[in-house]
Chains A and B, each alone.
Chain A
Amino acid sequence: MDTVKPDIARIFAAKEARRHKLAALPFPEKVRAVVCLQQMAARCCAREVKKCASGHSILRLLDPFPPAEVFDLICFFDCLHDMGDPVGAARHAKRALGKDSTVMLVEPFANDRVEENLKHRGPSYCSVTAERDAADPKSGQAAGYIVTFSRLRSTGLQD
Chain B
Amino acid sequence: MKRTLQILNELEGSGVGGAMGATFYVEPLLTFDLDVFVVLSANVGDLISLAPLYEALRTRGYAEEGECVLVEGVPVQFLPAYNALLEEALREATETLYEEVSTRVVRAEHLVAICLQTGRDKDRERVRIFREQAELDMNYLADVIQRHGLEGKWKQWTP
- Chain A residues at the B interface, C-beta cutoff of 8 Å: 19-20, 22-23, 25, 27-28, 30-31, 33-34, 37-38, 41, 52-56, 58-59
Contact A34 B20 (CB under 8 A): yes
Q: How many residues of B contact A (CB 8 A)?
A: 23
Q: Knowing that A31-B23, A31-B98, A34-B23 are A-B contacts, what are 16 other residue pairs whose CB atoms are under 8 Å apart, sorted by A's residue number? A: A22-B28, A23-B25, A23-B26, A23-B133, A27-B96, A28-B98, A34-B20, A34-B29, A34-B30, A34-B31, A38-B32, A52-B70, A53-B73, A54-B72, A54-B73, A56-B72
Shortest C-beta distance, B20 to chain A (Å), equals 7
Chain B interface (Cβ < 8 Å from any Cβ of A): 1, 3, 20, 23-32, 70, 72-75, 96, 98-99, 133-134
| Contact residues of B: prevailing secondary structure | loop
Partner of B74, one of A23, A30, A56: A56
Closest to B1 in A: A31
Kindly list chain B residues whose C-beta atoms are within 8 Å of the C-beta of A22: 27-28
Tell me how far the C-beta of A100 lies from the nearest C-beta in chain B, rounded to whole angstroms. 29
B50 to chain A, nearest CB (A): 21
Secondary structure at chain A's binding surface: helix, strand, loop or mixed? helix
Asked if B31 contacts A55 (CB within 8 A), the reply is: no
Asked whether, in the complex, the Cβ of B27 is within 8 Å of the Cβ of A19, the reply is yes
**Is there contact, CB below 8 Å, between A54 and B3?**
yes
Taking CB atoms, residues of chain A closer than 8 Å to B26 are 23
Chain B residue with the shortest CB-CB distance to A53? B73
Question: Chain A residues with Cβ under 8 A from B24's Cβ?
Answer: 27, 30
> 8 closest A-B pairs (Cβ-Cβ)?
A56-B73, A33-B28, A54-B73, A52-B73, A23-B133, A22-B27, A23-B27, A37-B30
Could you tell me the distance between the alpha carbons of A55 and B99 in the complex, rounded to whole angstroms?
16
Residues of B within 8 A of A20 (CB): 27, 133
Q: What is the distance, in angstroms, from B65's C-beta to the closest C-beta of chain A?
A: 8
Task: Tell me the complex Cα distance, A22–B96, Å.
Answer: 18
Q: Is the CB of B73 within 8 A of A37?
A: no
Complex Cα spacing A52 to B74, Å: 9
The CA of A25 and the CA of B30, in the complex, are separated in Å by: 16
A58 to B73, CA, bound (A): 7
If A23-B26, A34-B23 touch, does A59 touch B72 (CB 8 Å cutoff)?
A: no
* 15 examples of A-B residue contacts, CB within 8 angstroms: A19-B27, A20-B133, A22-B28, A27-B96, A28-B98, A30-B23, A30-B27, A31-B23, A34-B20, A34-B28, A53-B73, A56-B1, A58-B73, A58-B75, A59-B32
B residues in contact with A53, CB < 8 Å:
73
Closest to B73 in A: A56
Which residue of the partner chain A has the closest CB to B2?
A: A28
Taken together as a complex, chains A and B put the C-alpha atoms of A56 and B20 apart, in Å, by 15
